[in-house]
Structure 1
């Protein structure tokens, strides 16, 4: 029996309303999928950079010796300085408890004498990593030295950069670099500092072998 009258009109209206809601759901579903695709296209190019991890303390120390070796070869300290924080400090306790800080001081002291200590040989021993701190034990020798002299570099690495470097070296090693040969950078103790900084980082090849 075919519905007539008001019932027929109501039934037709219900069918029409159902079709409208169904079409609306399909349209909203398509918009949702499209929005997700657009969001994915925007996020994906950024994600690799956002997820990239900063270098480990060991990686930074290895890069330090590598960059120092490159600076000694071509005189370009850019890569070396990039490894230090802007307020980084270098301390040589045997000379002074006061650190030399800032990239300008690092560039001045290291850059002025990279070619002065030719023939210096460093043999790397133990390398210890404890959190942000990396300690490198090594010995220094030259043609004039009868016995290698022990020394230690202690790095503090923060946020993927060198925050501080402490060079512990004996007075015998300091005597191997005479004040007259060093560039004048400050007071009585400071002229010796550049040579010690280079001595503390001259074992490029030996240290790289240890890290491999």
Structure 2
């Protein structure tokens, strides 16, 4: 397994786009996954999260620009396309230690649903 944060992040996106649970092998046993107002900690919680998400929403994140890397971190602006066609802008921040994701924090844009945008409603 590559230890370069950029290579690890690229592998993460590849696994997610393929709906491949091999994505779990990229996380360390003590990894954290903060996002959506929750903090998943450790292999079991992260496995439960990804197993459910991949089977349900079928997210397919794609970088919307270059991966920015510095030291053990990689940051990506992404667009997550769900199985139902919904597209969600987000920022993913990876911290990689010894070739495994130690932390993946994701920031999801707070945007109104498309029908609210079309009607001119404001959040």
Please report the TM-score for the alignment, with normalisation by the length of structure 2. 0.72
8 A contact 1:126–1:138 mirrored in 2: no
Deviation at 1:134, TM superposition (A): 0.1
- Alignment match, 1:170: 109
Counterpart of 1:55 in structure 2 is 3
> Considering only CA atoms, is the larger Rg found in Structure 1 or Structure 2?
1
Of structures 1 and 2, the one scoring higher in RCO (CA 8 A, sep 6+) is 2
Partner of residue 45, structure 2 = 105
Q: Distance in 1 between matches of 2:51 and 2:42?
A: 14
CA distance in 1, matches of 2:59, 2:98: 35
Residue 127 of structure 1, aligned match among 59, 67, 86: 67
Aligned residues: 113
Deviation, 1:110, is 1.0
Match of 1:91 in 2: 34
TM-score (norm 1): 0.45
Q: As a proportion of its length, which structure holds more helix?
A: 1
Structure 1 unaligned regions, length at least 5: 1-52, 177-212
